[in-house]
Amino acid sequence: MKPNPTVVFLGDGMADEPLPELGGRTPLQAASTPGMDRIAAGGQSGTLLTLPEGYPTSSDVANMSVLGCDLATEFCGRGPLEAMARGIPLGPGDVCFRVNLVSIAPDGTLADFSGGHISQNNAEETVALLNQHLATEKIRFFPGVSYRCLLRLSGREFGTDVKCEKPDDHPGGVVAKLLPKSNDPGSGTLPLLLKLIRAAPEILKGREANGIWPWSGGRAGNLRPLRERYGIRGAVISAVDVINGLGRGLGMDVLHVPGATGYIDTDYEGKADAAVDAARNGHDFVFVHVEAVDEVSHAGDLALKIKAIEDFDRRLVRRVMDALGGAARYAVLPDHPVPVRAGKHTRAPVPVSVCGEGFAPDTVQTFDEISAPRGALGAMKGAGFMDLLFK
């Protein structure tokens, strides 16, 4: 008999730290989350290390860990994953960078890593303007979702030997002190990136998104499909290209929800209904990713973080569980922490709870960073989470 499908709810950046203004509680503890608590109380909990040392503290690394990838052989950088989601071809000589459209203050500091959460239309106009002035047969910008764009470099002189800072790690930082670097004096990539970065503010003068920030470049990777790894058919539901590209590379069906925005106005109900349909129509594994909590965490907005967590629980988790009931297994976790006080990713292990067939309840009753480590699942790492579900 075929086992029940498994639905994984991933709240990007949901984990946090105890805060004095919450009486020493974390946002997860302070929020009303009866759906996620139902998973914890009805099953088993533990932690998962998603951002091991030696890799960037970025969502591509974290979600590759959650989805059971071998980082040592499969990590390729965020650029190629987002290109895969967009259907942008990458030849063997191409390097692709993720590019943020950013807002730079008059004093040269990073005012907003998201260009004021630039609208889709404005973002596409901005990319068209960059291509008008900077594109060649070797250089091309591509629009993504809002501020998330791509830069493809084609030519033998371009490589991946460049270290770029992650923009959302440096709010208020002096941009001139955070430019890309390379240890290779013969690098053709570094001088070109610096040229593009320095040219962009004049081209984008007068716009809220008045600069570009390339990072996480790489070449097309070699991801091992989930069907080959675990013998399962998977579906991914997300608003952002990095997750959809990763899902596509892992052989998952990418299900698009028209109202999914990657922000707090996303269509939670649309995502929930898509997850229910996928679970009922032949998918063994449904991965539902929500970006909204991450965005408000980077902004340091505690009130919005708690609201986004509660929306995630009420409008997504509970809606799916009410629809599917005992006909599915459920798991919930963040991909990484984003403490609102720091406004950036940290490497702390994240809480995990799983319930359903095969997971007899342990003593944990609530889903949060303090309770989960006391659960029966213990401290997982590597492919431990996916192995737990499907091996």
Q: Is the residue at 315 inside a domain? A: yes
Q: What is d(CA 127, CA 76) in angstroms, rounded to the nearest whole number?
A: 24
- Give the residue among 90, 95, 96, 115 at the shortest CA–CA distance from 105: 115
Q: Is the residue at 90 inside a domain? A: no
Q: Are residues 232 and 337 in the same domain?
A: yes
- Give the residue among 270, 157, 149, 281 at the shortest CA–CA distance from 216: 149
Q: Are residues 131 and 196 in the same domain?
A: yes
DSSP alpha helix (H) spans, 71-167: 71-74, 78-86, 120-134
pLDDT at 223: 94
pLDDT at 252: 98
Q: Is the residue at 136 inside a domain? A: yes
pLDDT tens track for 78-134: 999 999 999 999 998 899 999 999 999 999 999 999 999 999 999 999 999 999 999
pLDDT at 160: 87
- Domains of the chain: total: 2
- The pairing of beta strand 6-11 with beta strand 110-112: unpaired
Q: Is the residue at 82 inside a domain? A: no
Q: Which of 173, 188, 218 is the last residue of a domain?
A: 218
Tell me the helix, strand and coil percentages in the chain, rounded to 5.
35, 20, 40
Strand (E) or helix (H) holding 289: strand 285-290
Q: Tell me which residue range forms the domain holding 295.
A: 6-76+222-390
Q: Are residues 10 and 122 in the same domain?
A: no
Q: Is the residue at 175 inside a domain? A: yes
pLDDT at 221: 82
- The pairing of beta strand 285-290 with beta strand 6-11: parallel
Q: Are residues 107 and 256 in the same domain?
A: no
pLDDT at 60: 95
Q: Is the residue at 83 inside a domain? A: no
157 band by pLDDT with thresholds 50, 70 and 90: confident
Q: Are residues 367 and 304 in the same domain?
A: yes
Q: Are residues 270 and 378 in the same domain?
A: yes
Q: Are residues 63 and 104 in the same domain?
A: no
Q: What is d(CA 297, CA 278) in angstroms, rounded to the nearest whole number?
A: 30
Q: Which of 218, 253, 286 is the last residue of a domain?
A: 218
* Residue 112 main-chain phi, psi, to 5 deg: -160, 120
Q: Which of 218, 242, 272 is the last residue of a domain?
A: 218
**pLDDT (mean) for 356-381:** 98
Q: Does 1 have pLDDT greater than 80?
A: no
Q: Are residues 368 and 227 in the same domain?
A: yes
Q: Are residues 13 and 72 in the same domain?
A: yes
pLDDT tens track for 220-272: 888 999 999 999 999 999 999 999 999 999 999 999 999 999 999 999 999 99
pLDDT at 141: 98
The sheet with strand 350-355 has its strands ordered as 253-254, 234-237, 285-290, 6-11, 329-333, 350-355, 43-49, 378-381
Give the burial class of 314: count Cβ atoms within 10 A of its Cβ; 0-12 exposed, 13-18 middle, 19 or more buried: middle
Q: Are residues 136 and 250 in the same domain?
A: no
Q: Are residues 157 and 266 in the same domain?
A: no
Q: Are 35 and 28 spatial neighbours (Cβ–Cβ below 8 Å)? A: no
- Give the residue among 291, 298, 226 at the shortest CA–CA distance from 263: 291
Q: Are 362 and 40 spatial neighbours (Cβ–Cβ below 8 Å)? A: no
Q: Are residues 58 and 100 in the same domain?
A: no
Q: What is d(CA 238, CA 245) in angstroms, rounded to the nearest whole number?
A: 10
The CATH number given to whatever domain includes residue 237 is 3.40.720.10
Tell how far CA 87 is from the center of its chain: 18
